[in-house]
Structure 1
Amino acid sequence: MSGELLETVIRAQRDGYPVLVAAADESSETVETAEELGATVVPVAEDEQDADDRLDALARAARDRGYPGAILHDAEKPIDLQGTHTRLRESNEYAIRSREEVDYDIIVGIPAYNEEIGIGSTIHAAHEYADKVIVVDDGSTDNTVPIATDAGAEVIEHEENKGKGGAVQTLFERVQDVSFDAFVLIDGDGQHLPQEITQVADPVREGDADMVIGSRYLEQDEEDETPAYRRFGQQVLDTLTLGSSSQELTDTQSGFRAFSPRAVEELELTTDGIGVESEMIDSAAQNDLVMEEVPIHVRYEGIDGQTYHPLHHGLTVVSFVLQLVRDRHPLLFFGVPGVLLMVAGALYGVDGILIYRATGQFYPAKALVSGFVTIVGTLGMFTGLVLNRVGNMVSD
């Protein structure tokens, strides 16, 4: 637990929160390090060795020092400081635990950026199918926050825009402190139909899947409102994403998804951008999580507040997927182009040789281009081989 404790101290100090650490052994290396990092050590008696006793001792110490409130954390898991602080402000208690002692069935998470038009109705509708709705406002400049708050959602605010991936990461950090059966992500612009929340969550609730993707294309729908240009772009992104993850899915870019507690714990999300859907699939495949799709419907007509232009969205996701391929499959990323360049360089050089033999005319440019392309191809192939070997060694 020492690593988790020190990480919590560092994060809290960085965000401006004073830290109290309850310790029976004040001379332990971990406690001394925490004190050096700026934490205040609160000694506990021998009869306060129980976790609940230690937390109670921390609450008393915080009150004695005049702090306006306290968050009690046992340091076994990472803490969502901002989300827990929001709960503390909204509660009538002096101290709350970092993990909610409530078992939820379905929790809905909504990443939002300038969604004042659709966020209120989306939250109201989601409340009919979920026990709790959490909105992460990603630095909106409109009335998204007050509307979401008035609609009954728990709102976590980013001071500046981080991107959809950053908002999703904040949501994942928040629900790690909560007990639930299924965590569902939907968009805040009204595209997704809240009445389909249980349909998407059911495979997770029943233990059949760790991640469920609501697919717009799993079933043919004559009333499908997806524009043709958007569907073509989606097919390109599906091909790239599935090629990098070796999965069989029909809609890799859908933001309507459900997750099990295991998925929330094990998915490794690093991107702040709109490539987060592709990264989820790749990370789920790497962690052997069970993925499933269910059909959903979406609305495009009359929906306002599209954050990204489709072309910008597509190019950003393509760039991110190529980075995934580079990192996960270096032999494919470097080796295949390398072999192609070697073959092209060799053929171009052979062509120059044949021309010289037939006419006696020597073309220096052909020789230079052939040599350069062949060398670059050789370097690419060997780079792929070396990185692939290093990756295998790290995995082993």
Structure 2
Amino acid sequence: MYKKQKISLVIPAYNEQKLIEPTLSNVPKVIDKIYVVDDCSPDQQNDVILNCAKKDKRIQLLKHTVNQGPGGAIITGYLQSAEDGFDITIVVGGDHQMDLSEVSHFLDPIIDGEADYVKGNRFILDKLEDTLSKMPKSRLLGNILITALTKIASGYYKTMDVVEGYTAISRRAILTINWKRAWKRYGYPMDFLIRMNAYGFKIKDVPRTAIYLPGERQSQIKGFQYAMKVSPMLLKNFLWRLKFKYIYRDFHPLVMFYYFSFFLIPVGLLSGITLAVDYFFYGGHFVTPSRSIFTALLLISGFQFLLFAMLFDMEEGK
């Protein structure tokens, strides 16, 4: 227990035979329950988990019958934790990459009413230099790209390190969100952020130390390839968030600003392309001042609507 709150820990596990034991052996006493969710792992990790459970009675192994992905494993843990009455649920990976001695940093903002969802951030200033020196460069570019896309998709413009899996969530948030629609594969942290915003929950970034063990396979994320794979999901969920939050839950005119920009910018770009084609391939016979001014107005108006929509969205996401 921590400050009179019942705390659980969820660990999604797949192919973690080598690293699950050091992860479990470093769980602090403030954690009352440990749910390890086996996502149909083909290795011998469950034998290791069950052996650890003999020494630590807090450990409970939950098994999937069908592989769902890390997001699906976390949701299974969330729902079990909420059903068992725990107030706050922590999530870490089974790859011993997250320092559980820092768990109080994740719990305090929820207990103090500052947030419903707290996530680690390896790029906060006091951790930035350490992170940049440890993080593989192949992952850094992907992290930066996917963070930029997620800021727009989620409406949380002040967050960073959106692929981060070290999180804490309140029981209220778990019980409120419809997890059946959540993304369950890699990319789930960004999906979860979008859902937090759509339901009006506050989030907070806290600094955390990254652990990279030499010679060990830990995260399976491959930077730029990962960013490209989850981009369609971000676009789809962004459009869903606008509809759910600003039309269904409570109307806000910023949604109209977004929709106007979605229309005006593509039409303006198409008009600009036709002007360029006329100029370069047909001698500019069809390029007139009125067409040029009309194209410029479309683009200027479209980008103004987009920027105002993003500004209002940023304010709503605080």
Equivalence for 2:231: 318
Structure 1 window deviating more from structure 2 (335-344 vs 294-303): it is 335-344
**1:203 and 2:115 are equivalent in the alignment:** no
What letter matches 1:187 in structure 2? Answer: G
**For residues 124 and 356 of structure 1, what CA distance do their matches in structure 2 show?**
70
Deviation at 1:334, TM superposition (A): 7.4
Q: Is the 8 A contact 1:138 1:163 kept in 2?
A: yes
Map of 1:242 onto structure 2: 151
User: What residue ranges of structure 1 are gaps of 5+ in the alignment?
Assistant: 1-102, 367-373, 382-396
SS, match of residue 318 in structure 1: helix
The structure whose Rg is larger is 1
Cα gap change, 1:249/1:349 in structure 2, threshold over 3 Å: closer, same or farther?
closer
Aligned residues: 264
8 Å CA contact 1:107, 1:134 repeated in 2: yes
Give the Cα separation in 2 of the matches to 1:309 and 1:354.
43
The CA distance in 1 between the partners of 2:283 and 2:146, in whole Å, is 48
- Does the aligned pair in 2 maintain the 1:113–1:307 contact within 8 Å? no
Structure 1 residue 288 corresponds to structure 2 residue 195: no
One-letter identity of the residue aligned with 1:316: K
Identical-residue share of aligned pairs (%): 23
Q: Which residue, out of 170, 190, 195, partners 2:96?
A: 190
TM-superposed deviation, 1:276: 1.5
For structure 2, the residue ranges without an aligned partner over 5 or more in a row are 54-58, 244-255, 288-294, 303-318
> What's the CA shift for 1:122?
0.7
Of 269, 278, 299, 1:344 maps to 269
Q: State the shift of 1:319 in Å.
A: 2.5
Pair 1:267-2:168 in alignment: no
Aligned-partner Cα distance in 1 for 2:280–2:9: 69
Cα deviation, residue 191, structure 1: 0.6
Q: 1:351 to 1:275 in 2, by over 3 A?
A: closer
Greater CA drift, 106-115 or 167-176 = 167-176
* Counterpart AA for 1:124: S
8 Å Cα contact 1:217/1:251 also seen in 2: yes
Distance 1:335 1:141, change over 3 A: farther
Secondary structure of the residue aligned to 1:204 is helix
Tell me by how many angstroms 1:251 deviates. 2.0
The alignment's TM-score, normalised by the length of structure 2, stands at: 0.73
Instruction: Determine the C-alpha separation between the residues in 1 that align with 2:38 and 2:105.
Output: 26
- Whether 2:35 is the aligned partner of 1:134: answer yes
CA gap of 1:111–1:355, structure 2 versus 1, over 3 A, is closer
Return the structure number with greater relative CO, CA threshold 8 A, min gap 6. 2
From 165, 181, 193, the counterpart of 2:71: 165
Q: Secondary structure at the match of 1:165?
A: helix
Within 1, Cα distance between the matches of 2:72 and 2:104?
A: 25
Q: Aligned pair in 2 of structure 1 residues 162, 354: CA closer, same or farther (>3 Å)?
A: closer
Contact 1:268–1:280 (Cα < 8 Å) also in 2:
no
- Which residue is 1:223 aligned to? 130
Q: Which residue of 1 aligns with 2:25?
A: 124
User: Which stretch of structure 1 is more off in the superposition, 322-331 or 233-242?
Assistant: 322-331
Residues 217, 356 of structure 1: alpha-carbon distance in 2 compared, 3 angstrom cutoff: closer
Do 1:325 and 1:333's aligned partners in 2 also have CA atoms closer than 8 Å?
no
Q: Give 1:1-396 correspondences, 5 Å limit.
A: 105-152=6-53, 153-221=59-127, 222-224=129-131, 225-247=134-156, 248-269=158-179, 270-302=182-214, 303-329=216-242, 336=261, 338-350=263-275
> Distance between the aligned counterparts of 1:308 and 1:235, measured in 2?
13
Output the amino acid matched with 2:12: P
- Contact 2:20/2:48, CA 8 A, preserved across alignment: yes
Query: 1:178 and 1:342, CA in 2 relative to 1: closer, same or farther beyond 3 A?
Result: same
2: distance between equivalents of 1:356 and 1:188? Answer: 59
How far apart in 1 are the matches of 2:69 and 2:257?
A: 29
Residues 192 and 352 from structure 1, CA distance in 2 versus in 1: closer, same or farther, beyond 3 angstroms?
A: closer
| Residue 352 to residue 249, structure 1, CA distance change in 2 (3 Å) | closer
CA distance change for structure 1 residues 211 and 341 in 2, over 3 Å: closer, same or farther? closer
Deviation at 1:357, TM superposition (A): 8.8
Q: Secondary structure at the match of 1:173?
A: helix
1:195 offset after TM fit, Å? 1.0
* Structure 2 letter corresponding to 1:343: G
The farther-off stretch of 317-326 and 166-175 is 317-326
Distance change >3 Å, CA 359–CA 324, structure 1 → 2: closer
- The residue type paired with residue 100 of structure 2 is P
Letter in 2 for 1:232: L
Secondary structure in 1 matching 2:130: coil
C-alpha separation in 2, matches of 1:120 and 1:354: 67
Separation of aligned partners in 2, 1:189 and 1:351: 53
Structure 1 partner of 2:246 = none
User: Structure 1 residues 348 and 132 mapped into 2: Cα distance closer, same or farther (>3 Å)?
Assistant: closer
SS of alignment partner, residue 179 of structure 1: coil
Shift of 1:300: 2.1
